[in-house]
Amino acid sequence: MHRFLIAGALLLSAAVIAPVAARADDRNHHERRYYDRDGRDYHAWNDREDREYRQYLVERHRRYVVFAKVRNPQRREYFRWRHEHGFKVEIR
């Protein structure tokens, strides 16, 4: 009986720790998703998307602002530009 209690405690602790470890691993990838209401899709913010965003800013003669701090009207404008310039939805 004692073995079942130990096995149960180990299984319970693994079940509690696994989601925390998975969440920590997600943060290491530095990728965030933003919903494009007009395009009805998500944009995964990774290195590639950041390069496209910087190109968009250069074309518009705007200074760089971290995308997480950009207001919604500017985000929508960027997403519109992104779709016009060959945005491809990446499915994992």
Q: Can you name the residues that pair with 32 across neighbouring β-strands?
A: 45
Q: What is the rounded CA–CA span in Å between residue 56 and residue 36?
A: 16
8-49 per-position pLDDT tens digit: 877 777 777 767 666 655 555 678 999 999 989 999 999 999
Residue 66: pLDDT band by 50, 70, 90 thresholds? very high
The angle that helices 47-60 and 72-84 make with each other, rounded to 10 degrees, is 100
Q: For the chain, first and last CA: distance in Å? A: 44
Residue ranges with strand state E in the chain: 32-36, 41-45
Domains of the chain, by residue range, sit at 1-30, 31-92
Are 41 and 89 a contacting pair, CB within 8 Å?
Answer: yes
